[in-house]
């Protein structure tokens, strides 16, 4: 089968969705399909080859097409970019003999709904407007991340038969040979004689990062809260507001396994105040954390409970910095129990590979 994957994401990108897209294209190709990824031609501070940046085998094609507008300039520029890219990408796709179009962009899915080619819409958020409604109703298949997101779409009339639940995943080989904890801490300039609790990823309200930052002031001095990620314009203000937190900035994906190895505890502090967090999300960091062999502390949310349980993690009350601080201290004080959970997480994460995810989605598509 020939698959054309269309997305407005620049490649590579510091955002996790870039990794997800590249790993899915690789997984489709490994299943024997002819895969083409179509992305916009954009200025990019990350000049790395996308295949090397994400440790992805070059077994599919990346096609860049021109798009006008300036994404970061203003809303008009943003939409000019999206519309011009969509026009160019769909014009390119029209000359393709692909059997399947695939996208996680609702606007692209909406435009695909007016054509004759069958397409899969991968939905990552419970949004409902005329664009999403038509895209979901006309798609051959809607792939969602969680049971909660499936319930969102079925409650709005989308047929249950055309929805497949496919949580995110991990490439286990990327985490097979990390640095030692000592070497990783020396590189990151973290103390060797203290406990480190670490968050890796986007700094945003719905990610619950403020809860973690506020918990830092309540922690004993022998526990170091560390953060990898965030935009440069965020970090200076955050470092001033939360002096207890070590903000290490954005680091590339190829260092992720070793960066995780530097921690005694990895935290997922997602907020319960946002549906995308409590119901919809299947965070990539959840699966990379599980693959690390490092204990996990997580907000007690339905979205995270779909993958984690008491055998694989410890939970705390979302949006409660006091509960977060207490849970961190208690987890770090119970090393043997936490290591047992980390070992179980490492076993359970084997079920969540990109190969398995791609296979499940394509089997559901072919069954329709």
For the segment 65-83, the average pLDDT, to the nearest whole number, is 74
Question: Which residue would you say has higher pLDDT here, 67 or 256?
Answer: 256
Cα–Cα distance for residue pair 102/213, rounded to 1 Å: 38
pLDDT at 17 over 60: yes
pLDDT at 49 over 70: yes
Q: What is the mean pLDDT of the chain?
A: 95
Query: Residue 72's pLDDT is what?
Result: 55
Tokens 């940046």 identify what position? 53
pLDDT tens digits along 262-272: 999 999 999 99
pLDDT tens digits along 227-265: 999 998 899 999 999 999 999 999 999 999 999 999 999
Task: State the pTM of this model.
Answer: 0.95
Q: How confident is the model at residue 59 (pLDDT cuts 50, 70, 90)?
A: very high
Cα–Cα distance for residue pair 69/283, rounded to 1 Å: 30
Query: Residue 78's pLDDT is what?
Result: 78
DSSP calls for 19-45: HHHHHHHHHHHHTT-EEEEEEE----S
Q: How confident is the model at residue 87 (pLDDT cuts 50, 70, 90)?
A: very high
pLDDT at 45 over 80: no
Beta bridge partners of 6: 38
Query: Residue 73's pLDDT is what?
Result: 56
Question: Which residue would you say has higher pLDDT here, 51 or 83?
Answer: 51
Cα–Cα distance for residue pair 326/181, rounded to 1 Å: 24
Name which of 177, 171, 152 is nearest 163 in CA terms. 152
Query: Residue 245's pLDDT is what?
Result: 98
Beta bridge partners of 302: none
For the segment 119-126, the average pLDDT, to the nearest whole number, is 98
Query: Residue 77's pLDDT is what?
Result: 76
Give yes or no for a contact between 80 and 105, defined as CB atoms under 8 angstroms apart.
no
The sheet with strand 314-316 has its strands ordered as: 246-247, 223-228, 195-200, 265-268, 296-299, 314-316
pLDDT tens digits along 150-165: 999 999 999 999 999 9
Q: Which domains does the chain have, with CATH numbers?
A: 2-169+353-367 (3.40.50.2000), 172-351 (3.40.50.2000)
Cα–Cα distance for residue pair 152/136, rounded to 1 Å: 12
Give yes or no for a contact between 169 and 291, defined as CB atoms under 8 angstroms apart.
no
Query: Residue 75's pLDDT is what?
Result: 76
């Amino acid at each position: 089968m020939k698959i054309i994957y269309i997305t407005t994401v620049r490649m590579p990108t510091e955002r996790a969705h870039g990794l997800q897209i590249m790993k899915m294209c690789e997984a489709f190709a490994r299943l024997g399909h002819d895969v083409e990824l179509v992305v916009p031609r954009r200025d990019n501070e990350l000049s790395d080859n996308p295949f090397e940046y994400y440790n992805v085998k070059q077994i599919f094609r990346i096609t860049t097409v021109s798009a006008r507008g300036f994404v970061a300039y203003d809303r008009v520029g943003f939409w000019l970019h999206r519309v011009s890219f969509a026009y160019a990408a769909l014009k390119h796709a029209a000359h393709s003999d692909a059997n399947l179009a695939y996208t996680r962009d609702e606007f692209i899915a909406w435009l695909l709904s007016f054509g004759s080619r069958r397409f899969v819409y991968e939905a990552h958020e419970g949004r409902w407007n005329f664009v999403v409604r038509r895209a979901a109703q006309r798609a051959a298949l809607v792939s969602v991340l969680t049971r909660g997101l499936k319930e969102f779409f079925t409650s709005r009339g989308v047929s249950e038969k055309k929805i497949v639940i496919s949580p995110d995943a991990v490439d286990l080989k990327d985490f097979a040979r990390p640095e030692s904890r000592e070497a990783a801490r020396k590189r990151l300039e973290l103390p060797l004689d203290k406990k480190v609790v670490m968050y890796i990823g986007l700094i945003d309200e719905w990610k619950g990062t403020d809860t973690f930052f506020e918990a830092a002031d309540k922690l004993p001095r022998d526990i170091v809260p560390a953060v990898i990620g965030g935009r440069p314009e965020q970090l200076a203000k955050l470092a001033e507001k939360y002096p207890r937190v070590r903000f290490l900035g954005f680091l590339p994906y190829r260092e992720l396994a070793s960066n995780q190895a530097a921690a005694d505890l990895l935290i997922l502090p997602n907020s319960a105040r946002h549906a995308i967090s409590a119901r919809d999300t299947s965070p990539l960091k959840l699966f990379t954390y599980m693959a690390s062999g490092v204990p996990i502390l997580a907000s007690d949310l339905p979205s995270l409970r779909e993958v984690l349980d008491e055998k694989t993690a410890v939970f705390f009350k979302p949006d409660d910095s006091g509960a977060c601080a207490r849970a961190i201290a208690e987890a770090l004080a119970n090393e043997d129990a936490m290591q047992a959970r980390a070992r179980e997480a490492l076993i359970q994460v084997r079920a969540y590979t990109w190969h398995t995810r791609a296979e499940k989605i394509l089997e559901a598509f072919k069954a329709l």
